[in-house]
Amino acid sequence: MKPVVLIATNNPGYNQTLLECAAKYQPSVDWVLGDDPRAAKAHVAACWYPSSSLADDFPALKCLHSLGAGADNLGSLFESGLRIERIVDAEQKHGMFEYVLWGVLYYQRDMDRYQSFQRQNLWQGLAQKSAKDITIGVLGLGEIGAYVATHLAQMGYVVRGWSRSQKKLTGVECFNGADGLDNVLAGLDVVVNLLPLNRETEGLLNGETLAKLPQNAALIHCGRGAHLVEADLIAAVESQRLRGALLDVFATEPLPAESKLWQMEQVVITPHIASSASFEAMVKQISAVAEEYFLS
């Protein structure tokens, strides 16, 4: 008899990869799908947007373990009274930093403008900016946001950070609260969203907030799709109020084919790939929790 982990996602391909990696990296723990009879004995569920009835359907569960660094994907299950765990992976933090750095460099080195020039068959150089000339605002200073902000500061960028509670980070000017958000947004070249999703942050990136950014600022959006009011972003970009946006998360995923965002030259779209923990790390961390319950 082995500890059991119930896989609770709605992505068949992802589920299959988890099953294969569990067999490879943690054969001492049975990872199963909901239709497996062993699922009834699972104390731990590996979750990514699970069914809201999960806790009722599998009453032996004691822990809901998010497959990501955040737990907002659990929805109403967050209030289930069950233990909540998240993935902690240093590689995931660095992966997010790499993605954000790529986005910052995309705008710092005017790659959006050079792409426009290319479409016009135009050979034209622009003045090069250095890191010290770029002011970046990082919204959300949790594990990942703090890592991104401090590493950008180490590279010479002027970095401001905003979070719910006051933080102290080396090289980062930190703000909190509503007034703090206004202070962060003023004078930015790039704003990076790495906020958690909750009642206070849902829809925060709306027309009113975007209007507080300087004209020609750019948005790098890697938090949660529900943070951004997409229609307001489209309006801000079309009116040239904003320079453009790099978007990795969306209100509806996959992004519907009819979304206007697909056709906007000033918008770069990636399919929620900014950073993720390795499957090995996920399997080992979640299996350790299952073994903890099995041995208790």
Tokens of 194: 């790495």
Active site residue 65: no
Round to whole Å and give the CA distance between 215 and 213: 6
Tokens of 120: 């016009």
Tokens of 147: 């890592």
195 three-state secondary structure: coil
Which residues on neighbouring strands pair with residue 46, listed in sequence order?
A: 7, 65
Catalytic residue among 65, 221, 224, 227: 224
29 three-state secondary structure: coil
Active site residue 94: no
User: 271 and 244 in contact (C-beta within 8 Å)?
Assistant: no
Place of tokens 């004995």: 41
Tokens of 238: 């079309």
- Return the C-alpha torsion angle 228, 237, 259, 76, nearest 10: 0
Of 74, 44, 78, the residue nearest 284 (C-alpha) = 44
What amino acid positions are annotated as catalytic residues? 224, 272
